[in-house]
């Protein structure tokens, strides 16, 4: 499923994922959310070593969920589809093997903050505002704004945004750990390329494994990480080669004996 408002380009090892809905301040509707998941699968299987996530227009990184898109849904469909589909898409982004750099090149509110929270690093341009306005509309953050956001930013700063409606400017967001770097307006993508260059000088496999382990420690994807790492170890063993050979040759496998190395 594709949607031109969620644009992906991959070149020279860099995947650029851009929200192109500037007339709605890059707010997401259901079709855009649906498009995000398969794009993450494409990134995962590409030769990209880093992902740069941004929004077009310079006014808003992402204004969250498009109110016109979800306000008419029944309560059942709102929970069953809007919230759950958003979780599936955002989980896929947060759990990409590649590091994700979010360029907050405009305001980052509601679901936009939840989208930014999926990134490993956040670079904010000086003019941005960051917050969670949902409770002022009679709704709660629904795309892990009370879960992943708490794990990544800490409970107290999320309380200030979600309960009190506080909105933070870029420098305060840096002090609170909501973003990792603040740069002048218009320089976010150049700064992201600088970070990408540093990442490109490091081992892609070691970086992937380090990200997986950090995610596991954070509670992001503990079960998948454990099984993926164990599966990789098993797949690299001579036992797998022997087991597959035995299966093809219709015989009992002759596994090597376990050796005591002490």
Question: Hey, which residues are catalytic here?
Answer: 114, 134
- The string of DSSP letters for the chain reads ---TTEEEEEETTEEEEEE--GGGTT-B-HHHHHHHHHHHHHHHTSS-SEEEEEESSSSEEE--B-HHHHTTS-HHHIIIIIIHHHHHHHHHHHT-SS-EEEEE-SEEETHHHHHHHTSSEEEEETT-EEE--GGGGT----SSTTTHHHHHH-HHHHHHHHTT--EEEHHHHHHHTS-SEEE-TT-HHHHHHHHHHHHHTS-HHHHHHHHHHHHHHHTSSHHHHHHHHHHHHHHTSHHHHHHHHHHHHTS---PPPP----
């Amino acid at each position: 499923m594709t949607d031109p408002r969620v644009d992906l380009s991959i070149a020279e090892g860099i995947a650029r994922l851009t929200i192109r809905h500037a007339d709605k301040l890059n707010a997401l509707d259901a079709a855009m959310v649906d498009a995000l998941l398969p794009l993450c699968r494409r990134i995962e299987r590409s030769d990209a070593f880093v992902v740069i996530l941004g929004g077009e227009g310079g006014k808003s990184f992402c204004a969250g969920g498009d109110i016109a898109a979800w306000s008419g849904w029944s309560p059942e469909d709102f929970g069953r589809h809007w919230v759950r589909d958003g979780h599936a898409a955002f989980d896929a982004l947060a759990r990409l093997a590649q590091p994700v750099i979010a360029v907050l090149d405009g305001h980052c509110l509601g679901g936009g903050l939840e989208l930014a929270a999926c990134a490993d690093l956040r670079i904010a341009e000086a003019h941005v505002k960051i917050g969670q306005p949902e409770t002022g509309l009679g709704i709660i953050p629904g795309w892990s704004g009370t879960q992943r956001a708490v794990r990544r930013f800490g409970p107290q700063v999320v309380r200030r945004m979600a309960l009190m409606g506080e909105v933070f400017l870029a420098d305060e967001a840096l002090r609170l750990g909501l973003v990792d770097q603040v740069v002048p307006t218009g320089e976010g993508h150049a700064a992201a390329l600088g970070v990408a260059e540093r990442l490109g000088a490091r081992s892609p496999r070691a970086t992937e494994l380090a990200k997986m382990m950090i995610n596991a420690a954070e509670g992001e994807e503990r079960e998948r990480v454990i099984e993926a790492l164990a599966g990789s170890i098993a797949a690299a063993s001579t036992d797998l080669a022997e087991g597959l050979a035995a299966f093809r040759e219709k015989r009992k496998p002759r596994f090597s004996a376990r050796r005591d190395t002490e």
